[in-house]
Structures are given as structure tokens and as C-alpha cells.
Structure 1
Amino acid sequence: MTFSVTAGLRLMAKRVQAASPRSGDALRLIGAARADARGATALEFALIAPLLLLLLLGTIELGMVSAADILLKNAAYNGARSGRTGYVPKGATQDKVIRDAVKQRVGILMDPGKVAVVAQAYSGFDTLGKPEPFTDANGNGTRDNGENFIDVNKNGTYDLDQGAAGYGGANQVVLYSVSYPWRFFTPMVSKLMTADGVLTLSATAVVQNEPY
């Protein structure tokens, strides 16, 4: 009985194959198509993966630049707060105290050694960014050579900004300018935002010194 069933199954299989001679070819074609689809997907991913990676790195770096800009502004305010008190520890200088206060706030994302700090002192808020007073002898609204002027910052020359370099004295108004050269590591972002790969971040803070 077992022999007869086996023989019958074999015979049935032969008849099915004879009736559908292309079924095997169809299965092979389906398998090949699936393999081709997997290959095409892998090829497409290989083509777009570098672009996606650059886009991801660019997004991360732009976020870092934004964070660095916030840190730099905070550093400028921190330096200004230190400078306005006039306090200088024994054995230190006011310049070092202020620069250290600035650098304390930028060390996370920036190289403290590349941070630039510039300070200009004024007699009051109303003189910020204003030129030194002069006698307009010919009435043309501008200072010409030979016209007298008041050398407010005492540097021996006429200046369009009367601020004096330094941290000022008691009750003076001081403008702090802090800057940092951020060098991009993502080529795509670098070409879009700068010509030489360096973006100068800057921050300012204005305070009036205490009557120390």
C-alpha cells in the first residue's frame, strides 16, 4: 500500500511539471527580481548615505555654533560684571581677572586661548560710539585737517569714537567686546556661510563701573 501511494505521488508530480513546464522558470525569475530589488535598494542607500551624513553633521555643527554664540554672550557679561567692581586680588592684574572671568564661560565648546577681549571706556552712556568734539570752522559738518578738537581719549589723534582703550575708572561706562574665530569642520556648512571656513562670533556688554 505504501509503495502504491509513493508511486502515485511521483506520477502526479511528473504530470504537473509536464502541464506547467515554465513554473520553475517563473519561480526563478521571481527570486531574481527580489534579489535585484534588494541590490537596487543597497545601491540607492550607498549613493545618498554620504549626503545624509553631511546633512546630519552640518545640523549638529550649526547647533554647536548657536550654543557657542550664547556662551560667548554669557562670557562677555561675566567679564563685564567682574570688571565693574574694580576688584583685583593680590598678585593679579585687572586685565587677568577679567580675561579669566570670560574664559571660564567658553571652555566647553571653544578654545579659551583664541578668545579676544577688547574694552573701551567712556565718560557716560551718552558718549558711547560718538566722535571726539571739534570746532567746525568752515561749517561743513565734518572735521577737516587743522580744525581743533578735544582729545578725549588722550591718544594724540582725532577719533570717530572717543572711547579710551582699557577698563576705565570709577563711575565710567565700559563697552566690552568679546570675539572668537569659529572654524567649521563641515565642508558644506563652511562653503555656505564663509569664504575661508572661519566665522567670527562676537558679543558685547556695556556696564557702568562702581564708585570704587
Structure 2
Amino acid sequence: MRRPGRRLRRLRRVRRDDSGASALEFGLIALPMVLLMGGLLEFAVLLTTASMLDSASLQAARYGATGAQPASGTREEMIRRIIEQRTFGLVRMDRLRIDTKAYQSFERIDQAEGFDDANANGQYDTGETFNDVNGNGGWDADQGTPGLGDAEDIVVYEVRYPWPGITGLMQPIVKDIELSSSVPIRNEPYDIQ
């Protein structure tokens, strides 16, 4: 038969023993610290990529505005190459989307084609006459013409990139983030040949 005093002495000795406390404290703090540092790294790379994408979009739009034809390939391919070079591998080009629309003036950006509102309901209905500004044969809520435009056209470059993240730590929290850049620019008065 064991005496209760002996158990109490052991329990007191274990309570006073602080060996291993540092390991336990580290175990409790390590995971939140790793997550915080990973989140900060992810956020820093996200902001860097967004800034590079803005700068690359501007440079690509400047090139597109010149009307220059590259020695090899098309203007569209050159615009993609400029963005690829200026984002230093942080943007996967197979996921990058570049949309361009040409307008006759800055005022017409994101404006619908005009139409005769026969039933006065404030919206275009099939059968109502309309002004086909972009020449595609149908009424459009945005009168821009897809493409890089002609001399002195206004071209809006919309660049979109779904950010996949680099660590995957933040994926369950933030899901999908789309980086985007929009650059309106007037084409130079070049001659198309």
C-alpha cells in the first residue's frame, strides 16, 4: 500500500520542474509565427507583382500606340513579350489575359451604342434601331472595337491575371485574387501599310 504523501511529493516535484517549458512554448508559438511570416511574404509578392503588372501594361500600351510592326511576329505577340519581360517570371503568361478595345474618343470609353428607344423603357430591345459604331452588326453595351485600333484611335488595354499565390498558405482564406491593370492611350498618327 502506497502512502498519499509520496504521491503529493512527486506531484510537487513535477510542478516545480520547468525543463521542457521552452520547447512547449516554442511549439505553441511556432505555427502562428510561420503562418504570419508566410502571409507577409505572400502579401509582399502580391503587391510587387501588381506593381510590375501595372508598369508592364503601361510599357506594352506605349509600344502598341506606336503602331510599330516587330521584325518577327505580330504587335499582339510583342505586347505579350513586353509584359513577360517586365514581370520577371512572376506572371505565368498562359494565365494572363489581355483585352484591347479601340474607341474614337476618350468620351466614348465604356459607352453604349446609341439607339432609338421606341418603347421608352430606357434600355435597348431587339428590333429597335441603333447606331452600329463598331460595325459588328449588333447593338453593344460597349461601343469599343476589339483590337489595337488605327492611327489616333483611343485604345484601352485591360490586363487581367488570376493570382495563384506562391506559398498556398493563404489560399483557404483569400481564394482567388485577380490582379488587373487598365491603360487608356491614344495611338500615334502612324500610317498603316
TM-score, normalized by length of structure 1? Answer: 0.78
The correspondence for 1:70, drawn from 51, 60, 72, is 51
User: Is the helix fraction higher in 1 or 2?
Assistant: 1
2-structure distance, mates of 1:173, 1:185: 36
User: Displacement of 1:186 after TM fit?
Assistant: 4.3
**Contact kept in structure 2, 1:103 and 1:115, CA below 8 Å:** no
**Aligned match of 1:53 in 34, 38, 62?**
34
The answer to whether residue 106 in structure 2 is matched with residue 106 in structure 1 is no
Which aligned pairs between 1:83-98 and structure 2 lie closer than 5 A? 83-98=64-79
| Counterpart residue type for residue 156 of structure 2 | L
Tell me the SS of whatever aligns to 1:154.
coil
Amino acid at match of 1:155: N
Q: Which residue of 2 aligns with 1:80?
A: 61
Number of the residue aligned with 2:179: 201
- Listed as ranges, the gaps of 5+ residues in structure 1 are 1-28
For residues 69 and 90 of structure 2, the distance between their equivalents in structure 1, rounded to whole angstroms, comes to 28
Q: Is the 8 A contact 2:84 2:91 kept in 1?
A: no
- Gapped regions of structure 2 (runs ≥ 5): 1-12
Distance 2:22 2:62 in 1: 59
What letter corresponds to residue 95 of structure 2 in structure 1?
K
1:134 aligns with 2:88: no
Q: Answer with 1 or 2: which has the greater Rg.
A: 1
Percent identity between matched residues is 38
Contact map agreement 1:54 1:186 (CA 8 A) in 2:
no
Q: Which residue of 1 aligns with 2:10?
A: none
**CA drift at 1:40:** 1.6
Distance 2:109 2:81 in 1: 25
C-alpha distance in 1, partners of 2:113/2:162?
Answer: 31
Q: Shift in Å at residue 156 of structure 1? A: 2.1
- Is the deviation greater in 63-72 or in 152-161? 152-161
Residues 184 and 190, structure 1, Cα contact 8 Å, conserved in 2: yes
CA contact (8 A) 2:102 2:147 kept: yes
The equivalent residue for 1:123 is: 104
Q: 1:173, 1:61 → 2: CA distance?
A: 36
Q: State the Cα RMSD in Å.
A: 2.0
TM-score (norm 2): 0.85
Runs of 4+ in 1 over 4 A off after TM superposition: 185-188
Is the contact made by 1:123 and 1:173 (CA closer than 8 Å) also made in structure 2?
A: yes
Q: CA deviation at 1:113?
A: 3.1
Q: Partners of 1:130 and 1:86 in 2: how far apart? A: 25
Question: Is 1:106–1:112's contact at 8 Å kept on the other side of the alignment?
Answer: no
